[in-house]
Amino acid sequence: MRDVEDTESPGIDPAQLYHRLFRQYGPQHWWPADDPFEVILGAILTQNTAWANVEKALSQLRQQRLISLEAMLCVSMEKLAKLIRPAGFYRHKSACIKAMSNWLAQQGGIENVKRQNRVSIRKELLDIPGIGSETADAILLYALGKCCFVVDAYTRRILGRVGLLDSGSSYSQAQQFLVSNIDKEISLYQQYHALLVAHAKAHCRKTPLCGGCPLFDVCRYFQEVHKLETNQIF
Ligand code: SF4
């Protein structure tokens, strides 16, 4: 993790980064579902696939009236796997959805889970096969309304490029860095993660589109590439 003061770039801190992204992209309406159980399904289905594929899987579940804990507990694994096939890794994901549904039922339902504290829910979520840190935190933040920052590959890419994180930073180091430097507010965490995703899609792609990027003047990656190009010219 880098100290903002130590970077060669003019520097930006996580709060300023948020404001720049918010000015550029405006409020993000995440998660694209209101029902917490649907959010949980989406968080599992979206692992390693594009959201468009998740939509197809959710639409099939919707048609079969399976977007409820009660219905999901009754459906067979075979039928579920077939319905969510568009989202990929369908055997693995159907087993994960079933395990998640069983756990929710053991807890007495989503509303009961919401009453528990964040740390103990997170620990239990991580014990469910197929649930990793990113999925657990997405469920905590967007389905259960807990203050838990979601870190994904986009977060690490953008923070790494602007000079706030080292490329080798772990999930928990990135998460700890962000939560130590921004206000602890659920709506801020929800917006911030969504804005990072929007920025990664619009500009900070694997091969970045730096032209018109709202962060170019504070971006270490941009400065290094620019310096390299200038040196090549002279
Ligand atoms: S200037 Fe380029 S590398 Fe830097 S944040 Fe913007 S798109 Fe990403």
Q: Tens digit of pLDDT for each residue in 139-197?
A: 999 999 999 999 999 999 999 999 999 978 999 999 999 999 999 999 999 999 999 99
CA–CA distances in Å: residue 94 to residues 78, 112, 124, 151: 8, 24, 19, 24
Q: What is the CA(214)–ligand 1 centre distance, in A?
A: 8
What type of residue is 205?
R
Q: What is the pLDDT of residues 136-151, one digit of tens each?
A: 999 999 999 999 999 9
Domain that holds residue 11: 4-28+150-227
Residue 116 lies in a domain: yes
Which residue's CA is minimally distant from atom 4 of ligand 1? 219
Q: Domain boundary residue among 143, 160, 179?
A: 143
Kindly state whether residue 212 falls inside one of the protein's structural domains.
Answer: yes
Answer yes or no: is 168 within a domain: yes
Distance 222 CA to ligand 1 centre (A): 6
- For residues 89-94, give the mean pLDDT: 98
Per the CB < 8 A criterion, the answer to whether 96 and 103 are in contact is: no
Token reading at 138: 């997405």
State the average pLDDT over residues 69-93. 98
CB 132 within 8 A of CB 44: no
Is 95 part of any domain? yes
Going by C-beta distance under 8 Å and a sequence separation of 6 or more, which residues neighbour residue 118? 140, 146, 147, 148
Distance 206 CA to ligand 1 centre (A): 10
> Whose CA is closest to 20, among 191, 226, 207, 137?
191
- Are 103 and 20 found together in one domain? no
The verdict on 63 and 125 lying in the same domain is yes
